[in-house]
Structure formats: structure tokens, C-alpha cells
Structure 1
Amino acid sequence: MKKLYLSVLAVSALLFGSCSDFLDVQPEGSAITNAYFTNDQQAIDAIDGLYKPLHKETVFGRDLFWEQGAACDIVWGRTRNFNSLATLSYTGDEEPLRNSFDTFYQVMSRANWIIKQLLDKETRTELSDVEKRSLGEAYFMRGMTHFLVAYRYGTDKQGVPFVRYEDFEGEYDNSIPPQQPTVMDNYRLIIEDMDSAIEYLPKFEEYTEDERGRAHQAAAVAYKAKVYAYWATWDESQWNNVITMVGLLETEYGRDLAQTFDELFSSDFADYWNAEYIWSIPSTGGVNGGGSDFPGVVLENKGWGVYNGWGQIKPTLDIYEEMAKDGAGNDRLVRSILEYNQEFQFFGETMRFASSSDLEAGFQVNKYMDPFKYANAIADGYVNPNGDWPTARVNFPLIRFAEMLLFRAEAYIMTNQPELALSDLNRIRERSNLTLLDHTPTMTDLYHERRCELAFEFTDHLFDLKRWHRSSNSEIKALAEKELNSRPRVRNYEDRTSPTSAFTIGYYADYPNKEPYQDYMMVFPYSPEQVTKSNGLLKQNEGY
């Protein structure tokens, strides 16, 4: 991939230009930077250009979630041309992998440039408050996108390409970013970026109402907790840092659980920024609401003739049964999954769920359905009228405090303090009116809670399984191995149009075979094209 050379002669080149050739050895010339960051609005525009790509369909809109097909919580719902993602037959050339890889390096490159320019300006004059915040946002976004590449491609044998422009005297010399020796080296650099972000960012409460949704200190602390949890895959001493970070979110930043599970996925602005919020892709609804189109992606294809849902990414019988272990019809299950004959509101009508479109699963994701319940959902701005970009007014969490409690509970168990995990797990269960655990938690309890609580969110259940497969804890290793080597099951209905139809149970029809899971599959292969373009400087992952 070519490196990114930014020109401020055209702001659009800075904010929206491609850097999909980030590792190519061919230089293109020098950047012109002395006309930028002369006022606060330019800093705001530059940072907004970092956020924008993440809302796209190719990242958190949909494509990043296709990877989850290799676990047993979701199936495609419609025929795709990259079943290798679900069958563990990775090539690196799958379109979803290539698109997200390119986008993350694009954001890293832009963030690198912004950081370098603002640090240089800081040596000459004091930055304004907006510029300081912008510098913090750039550090945060560089760290976040770096992390999303690092854990999905990096191992203890080799890390992923990364360079900091500010480490060069003068301008970045346009050399190919070096592949870090190990993923732990990437994690160390990500932690450093999040520490720098905390130094410059405000707390969430310091933002005005119009500024909410921007990076803030607690979000950086939460990513540090997640990085340390993933780092613990290779170095179990990092679990202690997870415990420290989650404690800091409670004591220093006042993070807590929302009062109800429904509140998390409410379309009511009064619920939008609840105590559990840490980091999300917010959407205000309506034609200009932005945000992720995932709520429309998972909606029944053609929306029962009312609205253009896409009919993709369907729940499996496996995740339904896992949730039902807490009792049929429990709050968390009902709010997470629509099953046949379940009542719901859709554009002012009371309906009972049935699904007659595309490949059969028997279920639909229900977490993001709240904006679609209103009779005038489009006219009142809850749902985008453009079904080709089906955003809706619902906060789309990337990290929420419940996940932090789950990481801390896991850390307690993995550091031989399982009795301390009980409180964190029961806080989550109590919030959804589930029976409280009455025993010292095990990794089986942790597996169940993490899988059920965070289902259909971008928390990466598949990578949970992959990191657990390397765990020193034999209990979680066995659970991960079982799911990684299982095929997802669905319900097949005699009359798909009837909510009360009888059904049989079978394997999902679209990808009948699956490769036996092996350790090298923990990470994805780099696209062979990228390896070739790097002139041999990008080393392919072992096993591919």
C-alpha cells in the first residue's frame, strides 16, 4: 500500500482521500502542511475526518461483523461471496477484511499527520483548548484503530506495521511503517497513545450537549482495559492492569450500569448518555442523523413491506439457547432476539415476528429495534427515510461499562480471586432481573455472561473465543474449542410466513463445512496483494 501524503491545498484530500496503498514503497512527494491548523475550525474539521470512516458500512456499519460468522452466534441471513470467513478458510483477500484493514490504516495515517502538526505547533505557541482536545482525539483515534488491526493480525511472533510521525526529526520520511517485533510491542504503543489522549482530552461531562459523542478520558481508559485484557493472552500479569483500569472508571469517572437493559438501546434522548455509556457510534436519527446503519442491516429484508431492511446478520439457535439458560422469556433474551410469534411494535403496528425472506435462521436481532416502533418513525426523525442507508436513533455501543465489569470479573478469576468476580457478574444479572449466582464464579459463568450480555455488539465474540483458546484455564479453553469447531444451528419452519408454524432444527444451509480450528487461525492473514506491494517488508502470518 502507498503511504499517505496529505496536502492542505484541498481539505477534502485530508479528510476523505484514500490511503489504501499505505505500505507501497513508491513515494509520491512531500506534504504541504504550513497552511493548516490556523484556527479552531480547521482542527475540528480534521478530527471529524477521523470519525467519519468508522460510520461507514465497510467498518462498524456492517462489514466488520462478518468475521463473527466463524463463531456460533450469527449467520449471514443472505448469501455472501466470502464464506471463507465463516469456515475458517481465511485467504486475506475477503472483501470485508481488505476494506476494514485499509480503512484503519487510513485513519491511523490521518491521525499521525494531525498529531505531528499539532505537536509542532505546540513547540511554537500555546494550543487553544479546541486544539488541545483535537490532539487528544487524534491520539485516541490512532490508538483505537491501531488496536483494531493489532489484535486481529498480530501475534507473539510478529506484530503489525506501525509508525509514529512524531518520532522523526522534521517530517516523516515516508518509509514503510515497520512491522513491530510482536503484538505486545503494538499494545505498548497503543497504551502510550491512550495515555497521551487522557492528557489532552476532557472528561465526558465537560462536553456541551452538541459535542457529546467525541472521544473523552473515560473512553481512553476503557480501551486501555481492553488492550490489557488482550495483552494478557500473551502475558497473564496484565490482568492486574485490567482490574486497575476498571476500578478507575468507577472511582474517577463515575461509570456504572444503566438502570435497565432497555435503556441501553432506547431511542429516547433522555436515555442516550446513561451511566453505562463509554464509547459508541451515536446516531440521532433522521436523514442527517449519521451513525451506523447496522440497525437497518439486521432488520428483516424489505421490512415486511414497510421499510427497506437488509435481512442480514441473523441470530442462531445456539445463542438463543445460551440466553434461554437463564429462563425462557427472560428480559435480556427478549430484548436481544426476536423469535417466531414474539410481539413487537413496528411503525405503529403490533406485529408478531415471522421471517420469510432469504436464507432461513428463524430469528432477528432485537437490540436496535426501538426507533422503528413509532407510527411516524420517519417523519419524526427516528429512522432515516433512505433505506439504502438505514440509520436510526439508537446509541450503537462499542464499549459500555458492562463489558468492563466482565473484563474485571475475568481478571479476578484468572488471578485466582474468583470470589471477587461474583459482585461484578451479579450486578449485570440483577440489572436484567436474572437469578443471581449463588456460587463462586468459574470461567463457564464468565463465558455465559459475556456471550449473552454483549451479543450482536461490536465487542468481538469471535476473538474472545480465539484468545480463550490460548488460555491457561482449561475450562474456558474447552468451551472456546467447542464453539470454534461447531457449526451454527437454526430453526427451519414449515410455513415461514406463519408466526405459529412448527419447526425443525438444522445446520445453517449456506456454509455446510468448516475447517478444524488451529492456533494459527487466531489471527487473519494479510492480503497477499499487500505483502507483494510491500516489496517483502510485510511478513505473512504463520500458517498462511
Structure 2
Amino acid sequence: MKKYIPILALSALVFCSCGDFLDVQPEGKPTTTTYFVNDGQAIDAIDGLYAPIHQEKGFGRELFWEQGAACDIVWAKTRGFNSLATLNYNGDESPILGGYDLFYQNMARSNWIIKQLLAKEKVTTLTVVEHRSLGEAYFMRGMAHFWIAYRYGTKDLGVPFVRYEDFEGDYDNSIPPQQASVIDNYKYIIEDMDKAISYLPKFEEYTDEDKGRPHKAAAVAYKAKVYAYWAMWDETQWNNVISMVNSLESDYGRELAPTFDEVFSSDFKDFWNKEYIWSIPGNGGSTGGGVEFIGVILEDKGWGVYNGWGQIKPSYDIYEEMRKDGAGNDRLVRSILEYNQEFQFFGEKRKFYSDTNLDVGFQINKYMDPFKHKDADTQGYVNTNGNWPTGRVNFPLIRFAEMLLFRAEAYLMTNQADKAKEDLNRIRKRSNLEELTGTVTMADLYHERRCELAFEYTDHLFDLKRWHRSSNAEIKNLAAQELNAHPRIRKYTDRSNPESEFTIEPYADYLKKGTYADHMLVFPYPSEQITKSNGKLKQNAGYN
């Protein structure tokens, strides 16, 4: 039978060798025949899974552009793929196309590692490092699969997926079969995370040099997220969300950090607090570890001090939502820089203003801690290479606050509002906000999740999309309002004056936003994948 070999599988055959898994710059491309002879080769194979997701088309920048279709961020620079912000998806926009390729390549790499280590495990005992590496491969396959599944899969049509270890002999490089339902994909992801839990160490068992790798609690947290998305199609899954978050507390000791600031600190002693679950840790300095996102959001040219890119800015809408908790509250001040707000930049006290790019009036403040230090570049807090503006910050992908928010949502969806209030108030109390009283509702959950997790890779846009399917009329209505709104900004009369007057206006770019429709829950598949599949990959309903 003729075989069609897609992009999805080819990358399994080459890995990037990294001396340090925080160092995202590849040092070479060894052939697969040299792997799994010793621990160093197993480490190199696994580190090749981390490097791509740190890069620009992953968590560095590209995956965040699609958030322009919600109302929390604006792009601050005119881009060539406004369809992402106007809901006129075609599937070939470079950011989502790049992410699609990235995560399927990561699945293919993980598949190959799993198959090789399982084969070795059948004939000999794996070393401690190999045992851990197998767990990391299961974790990364499940993580990559999840990112594709919920963004492209529905109850009526799943996404392509295959496990190499299910084949006798070598995988035949045929196109991965499209699962009948995304629920089938979610079952595979849960199985992978369960496998990861059985092979991975607990976080506390890692040495300092390996902290930042996946661990048991990180896999449990991903199971919680999978169940939350699965609950769109089967509300009984909310009970599993509750169980997973309970386990994170009772079995793995996860808890909120004492302060909101500590989560985004540039001090190494704060990195591994109890709120940490999984992140991309950046070490600053000349090695370039971490993600460029913290430089992407910085003022363009960094007021002449450091090379920021001036992209992805807060909207007035998210600022307004945060101000509901009071002007100048801890969470607002730490999350958003507004005109005339004082902050430290390279050891100098400044008042924020922005005189470059499109009018916005705000900047994300969550990841600015590395830039506060005097001589931040030469002292190792930010990358000495301003063209790769990484810095010393533990960039969160999952933290315990998000898990509490998922559990609170699950409690609300299972008629346990008192327990939901306890979880929401734990988060509010940590930021010195007034605690909620009376019966909490999904409107309270909407506010807390939106404000607590703003500008993080927790996917606010897809929160709105899954809420738009909810059986709860209140959250469905709130989601519809935001999905169909156009973000606003502050427009200043004198942009170089921190005390300038302003008006509140619609963001000047992508003004003609479409009306949200149910089929927009998921993206359309890239046209090249439809073509390469020779009819085996079915396009999502509602897209040509």
C-alpha cells in the first residue's frame, strides 16, 4: 500500500543536542543511531523536546497572537494575519500554522524516544536517568497532544494521533489516523500522563540542575486541564478535575506562594516555591535560557536602554476588569504598567509612558522584574544579546493558582458554591483583595480567572470558547460578550508625557471583527495538511 509521509512524522529522526536543557540554542544534530547507549545520550534526546517549545513559534511569541480575538491584549503593531483577531480563521496564518507543526513534531520526537526506551526496557533495566527520560517523553507527548486536541478537536471529530509503540517493528510513517472524537484524544493524553507519573520523580527529588523538568505533580496538573476541557462534552468530568487538584495538595504539597510578586521574581530563591508546577525557567545572562516573551512585551527599543520589541500590550478592558478590585490593588499594579506608574528599569526609577508603535497606553508588568536591576544585562538578569531578550524569570505554564481556579469552576458546575468561594478567596487573599461574601457565581469565576492569569499561556481565548458552550447561562453570556467585543485602549494627547490626558477609544487595528459562531470553537486545519493527507484528514465543520 502506498504511504504518504507528512511533515508530522519526519522530525522524529533528528534531535538537537543541548548541554543544558535551559539553553535553547542547539549545539549539533546527532543521528538517531547514537542514542540510548548511555545516560548523556538519553538526556540529549529529551532536551531536544524542550528546545523547540522555547523558541519564537512556540511559547516565545507566536502562540500568543491569537489572543487578539479576546479583549485582554492588543498587538501594538500592525500584523499581517488580522484574521486571528477578527475570527476569520483560514488555518494558514503563520502563528497557528507554526504551532501546529511544532506540536506534531514534538509528538513525533516523543513517540520515537518512547518506542526506543520501551524496547530497551524489555531487555535490560533502565538506568535512573533513562527511567526518568521515558517519563519525560510520555509527558511531552501528552502535553503536545493536548495543545493540538483542544484547539482542533470536537466531540464529533478528533485530531490525528498515533503511538509508535503500538506498531510491531518500526512505525511505518503512514499518516496518523484522525480520531473519531476528541474524547478519544483526551483518553490517550490521560494515559500518557498516567505513564509519566509512573516514571517521573517528584519535584523534590530533582537536583538543582534538573529543576524545571516535568515531574509527577506537573503530569497531575495536565490531567486536571484535560478533564476541564473534556467537561465541555461530558460534565461528569468536573469530578475528575476536583480529584486531580485535591491530589496536587494532599499528595504533592502544592500551595499558593506567599505573595503574587514571588511568582514572577528574578531571584533564584523564589523560583521553586510551592505554587510552581511547570514553567520555562530563564536564567538570564549570555546563555539565552528562557523565552523571548519578556522582551517582546517591553517598550519598543526600551526607552533607549534595552531592545524591547513593543508587541502584545494590555487593553483598557483588562485594566478596567482589574480595577473592579480597587484602584492600585496589588494584582493590578504587578500585572499592568499604566501611564505615570513608577517602576525600576536598569536601576533607575522611571514613570511609565509609551511613545512608540500603535496607541495603547499600557504595558505588561508581570515579567519586568529582571529589568529592574542596575546593569541588568551585565549582571546576568537579562540576556546580553538584546536580539534574543530573555531574562531571569520562571515563566509559568502551569501554576497552582490556575489549578485552584479550575477546581473552583468544577465546584460551581457541581453545585458546591461554598467550596468554590474558599478557593477563590484563597487567591484573592494572597493579593490583599477583599474576600468574596455571599454565594459566588460563575461571574466571580470569570473575573478571578481573567485577572489572576492575565498575559499567561493559560489560553484566555479558549476559556471564552469553552465557556460559550457551557450549560451555565451566566458564563455563556459573559463569554459571548467578550468574544463579540472589540478591545479598547487609552489614547494620550502627548504620548511622551506620563501625566498626559487621554481618551478611551477602540484599538485602531483590526476594527472589523466578525461575529463569533459555534464552529469557531476550534481552528481550521492548515490547507497543506488537508492536501498532504490525500483525503484522510477531514476539515473541521464550518470551514471551507
- TM-score, normalised on structure 1? 0.95
Alpha-carbon shift at residue 13 of structure 1 (Å): 9.4
Post-superposition CA distance 1:184-227 (Å, at most 9, x none): 11000000000000000000000000110111000000000000
| Partner Cα distance (1:498, 1:275) in 2 | 41
1:94 aligns with 2:93: yes
The equivalent residue for 1:450 is 449
The equivalent residue for 2:363 is 364
Contact 1:7 1:33 in 2 (8 A): no
Equivalent residues in 2 for 1:10-29 (5 A)? 12=16
Identify if the C-alpha distance between structure 1 residues 441 and 534 changes in structure 2 by more than 3 Å, giving closer, same or farther.
same
Alpha-carbon shift at residue 11 of structure 1 (Å): 5.6
Equivalent residues in 2 for 1:170-319 (5 A)? 170-319=169-318
| Partner Cα distance (1:488, 1:5) in 2 | 41
Specify every segment of 5 or more residues in structure 1 that has no aligned partner in the other structure, as ranges. 16-31
| Partner Cα distance (2:141, 2:452) in 1 | 28
The equivalent residue for 2:9 is 4
Identify if the C-alpha distance between structure 1 residues 99 and 383 changes in structure 2 by more than 3 Å, giving closer, same or farther.
same
Contact 2:279 2:398 in 1 (8 A): yes
Alpha-carbon shift at residue 533 of structure 1 (Å): 1.1
Question: Kindly, what percent of the aligned residue pairs are identical?
Answer: 71
Post-superposition CA distance 1:387-422 (Å, at most 9, x none): 111001011000000000000000000011111101
Alpha-carbon shift at residue 34 of structure 1 (Å): 5.4
| Partner Cα distance (1:258, 1:223) in 2 | 20
1:373 aligns with 2:372: yes
Post-superposition CA distance 1:121-142 (Å, at most 9, x none): 0111010010000000000000
Equivalent residues in 2 for 1:410-421 (5 A)? 410-421=409-420
Post-superposition CA distance 1:250-273 (Å, at most 9, x none): 000000000000000000111111
Identify if the C-alpha distance between structure 1 residues 121 and 439 changes in structure 2 by more than 3 Å, giving closer, same or farther.
same
The equivalent residue for 1:383 is 382
The equivalent residue for 1:27 is none
Q: Give, as a single letter, the amino acid of the residue that structure 1 aligns with 2:538.
A: K
Equivalent residues in 2 for 1:138-157 (5 A)? 138-157=137-156
| Partner Cα distance (1:11, 1:132) in 2 | 19
Contact 2:12 2:109 in 1 (8 A): no
Q: Name the SS of the counterpart of 1:66 in structure 2.
A: helix
Q: Give, as a single letter, the amino acid of the residue that structure 2 aligns with 1:115.
A: I
The equivalent residue for 1:19 is none
| Partner Cα distance (2:419, 2:18) in 1 | 48
| Partner Cα distance (1:318, 1:3) in 2 | 39
Q: Which moved more, 1:145-154 or 1:286-295?
A: 286-295
Q: Give, as a single letter, the amino acid of the residue that structure 1 aligns with 2:140.
A: M
1:462 aligns with 2:467: no
Q: Name the SS of the counterpart of 1:287 in structure 2.
A: helix
Q: Give, as a single letter, the amino acid of the residue that structure 2 aligns with 1:122.
A: E
| Partner Cα distance (1:127, 1:157) in 2 | 40
| Partner Cα distance (2:458, 2:16) in 1 | 32
Alpha-carbon shift at residue 36 of structure 1 (Å): 2.4
Identify if the C-alpha distance between structure 1 residues 451 and 529 changes in structure 2 by more than 3 Å, giving closer, same or farther.
same
| Partner Cα distance (1:266, 1:82) in 2 | 34
Identify if the C-alpha distance between structure 1 residues 442 and 55 changes in structure 2 by more than 3 Å, giving closer, same or farther.
same
Specify every segment of 5 or more residues in structure 2 that has no aligned partner in the other structure, as ranges. 1-5, 20-30
| Partner Cα distance (2:312, 2:253) in 1 | 34
| Partner Cα distance (1:131, 1:12) in 2 | 18
Contact 1:398 1:458 in 2 (8 A): yes
The number of aligned residues is 528
The equivalent residue for 1:25 is none
Identify if the C-alpha distance between structure 1 residues 34 and 374 changes in structure 2 by more than 3 Å, giving closer, same or farther.
closer
Q: Name the SS of the counterpart of 1:463 in structure 2.
A: helix
| Partner Cα distance (2:362, 2:494) in 1 | 14
Alpha-carbon shift at residue 175 of structure 1 (Å): 1.2
Q: Give, as a single letter, the amino acid of the residue that structure 2 aligns with 1:318.
A: D
Alpha-carbon shift at residue 33 of structure 1 (Å): 5.5
- Aligned-residue CA RMSD in angstroms? 1.5
Contact 1:362 1:492 in 2 (8 A): yes
Q: Give, as a single letter, the amino acid of the residue that structure 2 aligns with 1:542.
A: A
The equivalent residue for 2:25 is none
List structure 1 runs of 4+ shifted beyond 6 angstroms.
none
